[in-house]
Structure 1
């Protein structure tokens, strides 16, 4: 079957697809959180004393005793069995950006040969997967493989349904037999603990007496592409690498700006509603969905949640997104750049810090300069990003995200902070030793009587900033769409903890010299801006002038590739940061360097092998077949004394030969394994392998524009992006 026949069959299958029957949606009040063993369900099924204990653990992280765990386990089992569940799973989050789960039955047999159900506190608390079979950075080896999962009561258990089964899922941490963190959850919980401890000190110095436990919060905007599975299954690159390694740009892409916020295709809308109903059953607050900028690209954004729960929900959301898309005949692509020439996908992490008594400490209220707590916490963020910008770059480093950072839809790889005009002026005034009154944004009046006037924000949005203040939170815009939000949250919480500890020491010293808190606060903030104000930038982050100024004048680091960013995890300042806050030991941090470096290298090597295979076995044969057809036609026409123009044949032959020459160079390059260091190997992948892959692609994409459409072996961009 020719390439075109495969594509025609796919198109016919899509256009003649019988749509899934749409169920009448149930009211939100009926389905919200119905599959979650949350505090409300615990209160219904536990005694008052037991519920009070587990509630305190969930809300403050207080220690939990064995007796309480037994009571919770019994109630959890009865609730799950009442909903038809036969299995339970300790679900955890290894260093792979995806989830891991091991399913166990509630069933055991008794001495009479009968079957009963059992689920004790000990079974709830501990599981035992193989620690050496997950990425661990040499912490666990095959001859020393034991690892443990342990129940995290601060993230609620829930039920996952399939067509013929249901499983109780219990969020867990994952550690080695020797106690090192092998997952993304333990560092996140530790980072939040460190941040809370430091924040409590600052708030106490500010005179606060009733201080509830502080938590960071997260709301992550998830971008993704949908491609019909009939097309995706015909593309080895999409199946194995998650992105198209070949593909010429179609005549129409996103240049008309007609997809962003456009009418959602009906089939996509059905998928979204099905997907979101599942999210609501699991208590995941999906807030908005819409078309994104690129054709075939969409976004869903949940409401803010506590960081640990939000991170778990993000992982669950990605899993459900893929499985639901498959049910609707789509493949959901979470790769950061699945299609060259159009926007890639990010996961903008909106992050703030607060508690039940002081509220959101990154919310300035009406006039930011009057809110001393806000100014201190915002100043702590400024200091943290300046000192640990390279760390923030490292935690969003991946082979996939390298394709996106710095492009028109993504911020540059230089970490800077955008505050907005009004707030930036406040901090610059503090740095200059003065604090001028500021004005609000003013009323937006369009001169149209039917449009109500509304108060506009005091600052614009800067989409070129990687780390932007957006009114009551910071938005880390550089996170990749396929990545776990845990890594960025760990880095942000930890750098904030370090800065708050520094501020507490400085503030305590200033308060001993001055009775006036405002004067003491401004003295601390003035020092922050003098030392770290270089990281504040409100201009165009894409401009060459900024890149030059950032590096040469402001001393900021530009780390354009993951090969340069991941080694930042080995910087002594980063090691001290994690050690001093108790978030990661040196061994745990080094293991993360090894894991992420290996994943980067392996990702590029897989793509390189795919490029070679697809070029040799599909694209080159299509070009030769086309040349053969041209030669045969030319010969037949010559018999009739008609000479055909041979321009196309020459172009195809030249591109085919050049492509195969590049394939030969790439094949030789991937056999190189003699590297002195891991860093050297990563740089080789970034600057040699990738360049050779791009060289092969350039010739292949040129061939796509020359070879007869009926012979081209793969679905084209014009089909995958526009046929839904």
Structure 2
């Protein structure tokens, strides 16, 4: 056994018992480290507090005097909480969060030290923009970029630092982050949905897009992970034979949470409570050492911030419990990967979930309006929705028997399918009083409130209606939720705008009543979008064939999927809604292609290194042991030794064959990679997907065969049975 593997296993076996004491009741801890409404009321004047709330609700600008007053109150609160530094906390296009800490104190010309934090420091800072992905928006020598305060997401204290959520934009104004387009998309969906919601309730003044994410992840002992170069550098195991026992007994799912894991989750939840992250659910997932956490639903922008913050906190808390958190979508071969289901809905300021069926025909007509428009939006932009969740990691997961396929479809359940089929049959034109009554009683009235629990779950569907929300199940575990949420809210907003225009036209030019017009437009939308609805098994080949007939896209790789980002329809969508301009769209396309290439390139290099510098030398060492054994048998038995050395010589031959195959495949992979590196970005990405990546499975297969042949004590890397079953 290698010294590193031996030490890693020794560390696991001799870990001290982990205990954790809670600091109090959850309700007493919640948001105590957040400069939210309660803290603002205490540290701000009434006029300043009112200005902040107006800015949050209506998006009004905050003037410099008010900003100074807010900064003074925020500073006093933060210093009393023990904060020593402040930072603008933002989400650049790296997929991670970013921060630059500045101390509160300043030295005066007289040599005195004072605590300083004013409105200018609150509202804006200037980090280096050239060092973050920018997709050509900025030249390398043009470093200036700006972070600007987002008052809709409250400041918080973590690790004695006041963190101020901000947007991040270039000197010329283009968005360099995930948050800026999301905020614009949320504003557009608010306006579009509010206009439609007023068909049913004139008192609606605001519609909020809500999000509830479900974060899946693996926990691996930190020492074992450190002994695996592939886990350390890529976040997944590039080789490793499956353990004899995996998830086939279904005994881990919803099972008793291991003691050490529970101690970690308890401390993590306490940190979440302090920061106002409303984590409510924790449980074992299907695969060994896989778990899930999920919060109460929140406004989408805040939910995105909270998920990004949570992922950072998870890693920090894990260090204290000697764990490494794996967010990769497919860290282990042969068992389930990890997703981040995005549960999305729309809520009015009158307290109504627009995707929740009601108890009266009119409430159900409102529900059907938003329900059908969402389905129509997904149908019109299914390839863009697929692009929004594209990544190198998610390519390993999608369609891998525990995740939805790459084909985007909508599952709504048998009951709602029958309702839409009935509505589709409604006669054209105006509805007679008798037809309207019959429709409301026999169709719309058939959707009871209990439907919340009447819709089955289809785990093979990437976009499923689950009672009072749509669940976008195809989102990967590492993803920033802002990406799919920007796309989803944008396409639904565009659809609602078109819907209202069509309804108003029928009312104004055809002299139709509002209900008749709504029914007529919805009926056509149901017909138009029927191809996107699918209730069956998304894993079967028959669905692939059927989807092709329906002309639905099946973009299996990120490289194929990302092309939808820069299609004419996508550019027109974002540009018309003023969410992103052509420069910003093209930049994101290039950034995501570059990231794909770099991740596959890193995996290729790591795999070649581990196979040649760890696996092959180990196999040769074991082969020499067998050769010495055969020589010893020959010394004892002479020419008759072959009868006693048959098994050994067979293994020696197998070892040689696998070693030769690995070496040849690695050489070929490197040659292909070198040729690909000379191509322009799009062709390079295509080559990495189609020519470089296929070698991974071939090399892995040979290495995994060696793992079964080589003596366990010699094997250099922690095995699956150790990674997945040692707590």
For Structure 1 versus Structure 2, the TM-score category normalised by the shorter chain is over 0.9
Paired residues of 2:364 and 2:444 also in contact (CA < 8 A): no
Compare 318-327 and 9-18 and name the one that shifted more: 9-18
Q: Where in structure 2 are the equivalents of 1:38-57 lying within 5 Å?
A: 38-57=36-55
Match for residue 123 of structure 2?
125
1:503 equivalent to 2:499? Answer: yes
What is the CA-CA distance between 1:379 and the residue it aligns to?
1.4
What is the CA-CA distance between 1:149 and the residue it aligns to?
0.2
Of residues 394, 399, 406 in structure 1, which corresponds to 2:399? Answer: 406
What is the TM-score of this pair, normalised by structure 2? Answer: 0.95
Q: 1:442 to 1:395 in 2, by over 3 A?
A: closer
Q: 1:107 to 1:690 in 2, by over 3 A?
A: same
Paired residues of 1:7 and 1:715 also in contact (CA < 8 A): yes
- Distance, in Å, in 2 between the alignment partners of 1:147 and 1:596 is 20
- Distance, in Å, in 1 between the alignment partners of 2:362 and 2:661 is 63
1:543 equivalent to 2:540? Answer: yes
Where 2:177 maps in the other structure, the secondary structure is coil
Q: Where in structure 2 are the equivalents of 1:57-72 lying within 5 Å?
A: 57-72=55-70
What is the CA-CA distance between 1:514 and the residue it aligns to?
4.4
- Distance, in Å, in 1 between the alignment partners of 2:130 and 2:711 is 50
What is the CA-CA distance between 1:676 and the residue it aligns to?
5.3
Paired residues of 1:90 and 1:101 also in contact (CA < 8 A): yes
Match for residue 258 of structure 1?
251
Of residues 138, 159, 162 in structure 2, which corresponds to 1:168? Answer: 162
What is the TM-score of this pair, normalised by structure 1? Answer: 0.95
Q: CA RMSD in A?
A: 1.7
- Distance, in Å, in 2 between the alignment partners of 1:368 and 1:86 is 57
- Distance, in Å, in 2 between the alignment partners of 1:18 and 1:682 is 47
Match for residue 645 of structure 2?
644
Q: 1:650 to 1:112 in 2, by over 3 A?
A: same
Paired residues of 1:441 and 1:459 also in contact (CA < 8 A): no
Where 1:224 maps in the other structure, the secondary structure is strand
Paired residues of 1:369 and 1:426 also in contact (CA < 8 A): no
Where 2:130 maps in the other structure, the secondary structure is helix
1:103 equivalent to 2:68? Answer: no
Where 1:159 maps in the other structure, the secondary structure is strand
1:591-641 superposed Cα distances (whole Å, 9 cap, x missing partner) = 000100000000000000001111110100001001100000110111111
Q: 1:66 to 1:719 in 2, by over 3 A?
A: same
Match for residue 386 of structure 1?
379
Of residues 194, 204, 216 in structure 2, which corresponds to 1:200? Answer: 194
What is the CA-CA distance between 1:61 and the residue it aligns to?
2.1
Q: 1:368 to 1:246 in 2, by over 3 A?
A: farther
Paired residues of 2:22 and 2:270 also in contact (CA < 8 A): no
Q: Where in structure 2 are the equivalents of 1:405-444 lying within 5 Å?
A: 405-433=398-426, 435=439, 436-437=442-443
- Distance, in Å, in 2 between the alignment partners of 1:627 and 1:441 is 69
Match for residue 449 of structure 1?
none
Aligned positions, number: 706
1:335-371 superposed Cα distances (whole Å, 9 cap, x missing partner) = 0000000000000000111221262111112468852
What is the CA-CA distance between 1:652 and the residue it aligns to?
1.2
Of residues 452, 459, 463 in structure 2, which corresponds to 1:463? Answer: 459
- Distance, in Å, in 2 between the alignment partners of 1:604 and 1:384 is 33
Q: 1:441 to 1:56 in 2, by over 3 A?
A: closer
Of residues 352, 355, 364 in structure 1, which corresponds to 2:345? Answer: 352
What is the CA-CA distance between 1:401 and the residue it aligns to?
0.4
1:25-81 superposed Cα distances (whole Å, 9 cap, x missing partner) = 411122111000001110112222221111121233222222211111100000001
What is the CA-CA distance between 1:518 and the residue it aligns to?
2.4
What is the CA-CA distance between 1:24 and the residue it aligns to?
3.9
1:679 equivalent to 2:682? Answer: yes
- Distance, in Å, in 2 between the alignment partners of 1:476 and 1:373 is 22
**5+ residue gaps, structure 1:** 444-453
Compare 378-387 and 330-339 and name the one that shifted more: 378-387
1:222-253 superposed Cα distances (whole Å, 9 cap, x missing partner) = 00000001100000111110000010011110
Q: Where in structure 2 are the equivalents of 1:1-16 lying within 5 Å?
A: 2-3=1-2, 5-16=3-14
What is the CA-CA distance between 1:441 and the residue it aligns to?
9.3
Higher helix share: 2
Of residues 75, 85, 88 in structure 1, which corresponds to 2:86? Answer: 88
- Distance, in Å, in 2 between the alignment partners of 1:658 and 1:270 is 45
Paired residues of 2:220 and 2:324 also in contact (CA < 8 A): yes
Of residues 660, 669, 672 in structure 2, which corresponds to 1:669? Answer: 672
Compare 696-705 and 526-535 and name the one that shifted more: 526-535
Paired residues of 2:361 and 2:445 also in contact (CA < 8 A): no
Match for residue 434 of structure 2?
none
Match for residue 579 of structure 1?
575
- Distance, in Å, in 1 between the alignment partners of 2:213 and 2:22 is 29
Paired residues of 2:460 and 2:539 also in contact (CA < 8 A): yes
- Distance, in Å, in 2 between the alignment partners of 1:423 and 1:455 is 9
Match for residue 342 of structure 1?
335
